[in-house]
Homo-oligomer: A and B are copies of this chain.
């Protein structure tokens, strides 16, 4: 359980991503109805569009977007390192070109902290570097040390008492560097700790191995946030390793491509066989999309690229992912998580009975 000025978040919790101040196509009411606890906003995008000064004038991101529940903003670091084509890093910060118009900007620890204070989420993140794929050990070592120095500057710059600040652990796939990053970050002292720089191209096995070594080193009494996981199996795997919070655009992005999550695996509604499928999307789901429409109608909307299709499948995928977390919390309370999650994953992966779209 995570306490925030805008309410409690039951953990482990999936945080839907509201990239530009909106979870694609959904209202705050939809998100509440789907059971969302905490929602994530992207500082990179909001800083550039509509501008964090404008959001502050509107009364902060809660007032601006209408989402009154717990909210977290990232620092923008991940987008700078993954979206920007040109960037240069120095001790001072990172200079980059806007993905919108190519204009030059510089993120420093002090600036991203102030921007997040303007946005006013319940949890802010330190500015970190997410090293490029293929970076060597030496690069990772230097990078994690700079990230730790930036973390200290973020903490010093942070002045909002009603906003938590989380540190971020880097170190690539090197166990000793992860350990070093943990101790340097914990030494600064934060309200929670994120594991960053994973789910960025390494194998799932490598990811879980390094997480298994990293997570137990984090303070047991502080929330642990795994940045960037949202597929059902990955969620269950990181929960097993003690992660409390995680976010990913996957459920919402899949929806815009016509892909829906079901207990029997992911299905793509563009597949011809759904054209005349008059059953619900997921018979075990109670969301508006599953309760009110048949697959054939949703498949029609997807094929015609209709807004309502994007909206309904997004709602379902978010609801499905949040419901998975609710169930995980119940199973953890009941002391049955390992057995339940193993069975759930087997069914989802089509190992217990033939799944519908295993070859997609």
The residues of A with any CB-CB pair to B shorter than 8 Å are 20-22, 24-29, 49-50, 54, 57-58, 64-66, 275-276, 278, 288, 292-294, 296-297, 299-301, 303-304, 306-308, 310-312
* CA distance in complex: A51, B307 (Å): 20
Least CB distance, A1 to chain B, in whole angstroms: 28
Measured between beta carbons, the chain B residues less than 8 angstroms from A25 are 25, 306-308, 311
Q: List 14 A-B contacts (CB under 8 A).
A: A20-B304, A20-B306, A22-B301, A22-B306, A25-B25, A27-B288, A27-B312, A49-B300, A50-B299, A50-B303, A54-B276, A64-B297, A307-B307, A311-B311
* CA distance in complex: A294, B27 (Å): 14
A-B contact sample (8 more), CB < 8 A, given A49-B303, A50-B275, A50-B296:
A26-B308, A27-B288, A27-B308, A29-B288, A58-B297, A64-B296, A307-B310, A307-B311
* Contact indicator A21/B300 (Cβ below 8 Å): yes
Least CB distance, A21 to chain B, in whole angstroms: 7
* Contact indicator B278/A58 (Cβ below 8 Å): yes
Measured between beta carbons, the chain B residues less than 8 angstroms from A294 are 58, 64
Greatest chain B CB density within 10 A among A27, A293, A299 is at A27
Copies of this chain, count: 2
Least CB distance, A332 to chain B, in whole angstroms: 33
Greatest chain B CB density within 10 A among A64, A300, A303 is at A300
* Contact indicator B49/A275 (Cβ below 8 Å): no
* Contact indicator B278/A308 (Cβ below 8 Å): no
* Contact indicator A293/B24 (Cβ below 8 Å): no
Least CB distance, A39 to chain B, in whole angstroms: 13
* CA distance in complex: A329, B307 (Å): 32
Query: In the complex, which residue of chain B has the Cβ closest to the Cβ of A297?
Result: B64
* Contact indicator A28/B58 (Cβ below 8 Å): no
* Contact indicator B311/A278 (Cβ below 8 Å): no
* Contact indicator B24/A307 (Cβ below 8 Å): yes
CB-contact partner of A296 in B58, B307, B312, under 8 A: B58
* Contact indicator B57/A276 (Cβ below 8 Å): yes
Least CB distance, A22 to chain B, in whole angstroms: 5
Measured between beta carbons, the chain B residues less than 8 angstroms from A306 are 20, 22, 24-25
Measured between beta carbons, the chain B residues less than 8 angstroms from A275 are 50, 54
Measured between beta carbons, the chain B residues less than 8 angstroms from A54 are 275-276, 296
* CA distance in complex: A102, B134 (Å): 49
Least CB distance, A48 to chain B, in whole angstroms: 10
Measured between beta carbons, the chain B residues less than 8 angstroms from A22 are 301, 306-308
Measured between beta carbons, the chain B residues less than 8 angstroms from A29 are 288, 292
* Contact indicator B50/A292 (Cβ below 8 Å): no
Measured between beta carbons, the chain B residues less than 8 angstroms from A296 are 50, 54, 58, 64
* CA distance in complex: A29, B312 (Å): 13
* CA distance in complex: A300, B307 (Å): 18
Least CB distance, A159 to chain B, in whole angstroms: 25
Least CB distance, A289 to chain B, in whole angstroms: 9
Query: In the complex, which residue of chain B has the Cβ closest to the Cβ of A306?
Result: B22
Measured between beta carbons, the chain B residues less than 8 angstroms from A276 are 54, 57
